[in-house]
Amino acid sequence: METRRALLVDAFTDEPLAGNVAGVLPDAAGLNEDRMGRVAAELGASETAFRFEAGDGADERLRYFTPSTEVDLCGHATIASYAALYAAGEIDAGERTLRTNVGDLSIRVDDDGTVWMRQNPPTVEAVDETELDADRLGDALGIDPAALRDVGADLPVAVASTGLPWLVVPVNFLERLGEAEPDAAAVEDISNAHDAAGIYAFTFDAIDAASTLHGRAFAPAVGVAEDPVTGTASGAVGAYLRSVDAFDGDFPDEIRFEQGHFVDRPGHVRVRVEGDEVRVGGRAVVSTEGELTLPAEREDDIIEA
């Protein structure tokens, strides 16, 4: 039977069993969509990245699958893939070009293993309160609507994207954000109505003094109730903060997002925004490595762990 090397990699952290776990298949050559979907379900991570040769100006291609569907881009699985490849000596530090379903992206691996992912040029579009008010959002997120109105005058709700759209929702205090008990169906309905992967709620009231903000990401529309640490959302929110002039014209060279504490998977994302260039960066640690056995391809193909 055919075997493939399979990894579980914890992204946006320096420690195993923290941050956001991703599945990684460093060599997915020859696997079709059905098999990739089955492998992703077997590994059980929120997303699994499958690496293929790309050619035509790119160094490699990644495809991303949740246990139930393919997604066009996944930040933490990208960071996890390149960190694991670098740690194994399969790639060198430096610049690389990654091909994804949303186009070619620039990746840089630093000598210390930090991976930087340049995301797509950002788009940010404020959402009118008549379309989505604080009461509906508060009910969906399980947050007192007053905690949303308190910051809404200065920081609007918006759909932001650097490749994957997120509905960005500011919250006044960490205590209120921590109390969130989302109604998954309501969050999914709102996400679908705004063509967003999910809702990223954040507050500047962070736990770590070194952090710019604390975020929580809810994405039941793509099968993830709460994502521990989210690279695509972090890039989108970085672009959002510049768009709404959240720092009164003095935008920092680098901002630090903390996330995952409320699901016992703490991690952080480094974000740099310069004009239309958004980069997210972080470390990653391989927590599990082994061989996945695949039966011969047939109509009733079943994956055996």
pLDDT tens digits along 78-91:
999 999 999 999 99
Residue 65 pLDDT greater than 80, yes or no: yes
> For residue 13, what is the DSSP state?
-
pLDDT for 114 equals 98
Take residue 115 and report the two structure tokens written for it.
Answer: 């991976």
pLDDT at 222 over 90: no
7-50 pLDDT, tens digit per residue, is: 999 999 999 999 999 999 999 999 999 999 999 999 999 999 99
Exposure b/e, 127-145, CB count within 10 A at least 16 = b: beeeebbbeebbebbebbb
- Helix residue ranges, H only, the chain: 33-43, 75-87, 134-141, 145-152, 174-178, 184-193, 231-243
Q: What is the pLDDT of residue 299?
A: 60
Specify the CATH number for 2-114+284-294; select among 3.20.20.70, 3.40.190.10, 3.40.50.720, 3.10.310.10: 3.10.310.10
Other CB atoms within a 10 A radius of the CB of residue 199 amount to 27
Question: In this predicted structure, what is the pLDDT of residue 304?
Answer: 53
The candidate with the shortest Cα–Cα distance to 169, out of 161, 179, 159, 178, is 159
Range(s) within the chain of domains with CATH label 3.10.310.10: 2-114+284-294, 123-281
> Higher confidence at residue 239 or residue 295?
239
Tell me: the pLDDT tens digits for 133-171?
Answer: 999 999 999 999 999 998 977 899 999 999 999 999 999
**Span 123-281: which CATH code?**
3.10.310.10
**Each residue of 112-134: pLDDT tens digit?**
999 999 999 999 999 999 999 99
pLDDT at 283: 98
Q: What pLDDT is recorded for position 294? A: 84
Catalytic residue among 47, 60, 188, 226: 47
Decide if pLDDT at 303 tops 60.
no
- Give 187 or 102, the one with higher predicted confidence: 187
pLDDT of 225 strictly over 90: yes
Q: What mean pLDDT is predicted for residues 177-201?
A: 98
CA 33 to chain CA centroid, Å, is: 21
In percent, the amount of the chain with pLDDT more than 70 equals: 96
90 catalytic? Reply is: no
Say which residue, 102 or 6, is predicted with more confidence. Answer: 6
Q: What angle do CA 282, 221, 66 make, to 5 degrees?
A: 55
The mean of the pLDDT values for the chain is 94
**CA-CA-CA-CA torsion sign (220, 226, 227, 233):** positive
What span, in angstroms and rounded, lies between the C-alpha atoms of 235 and 250?
18
Range with lowest mean pLDDT among 199-208, 235-244, 267-276, 292-301: 292-301
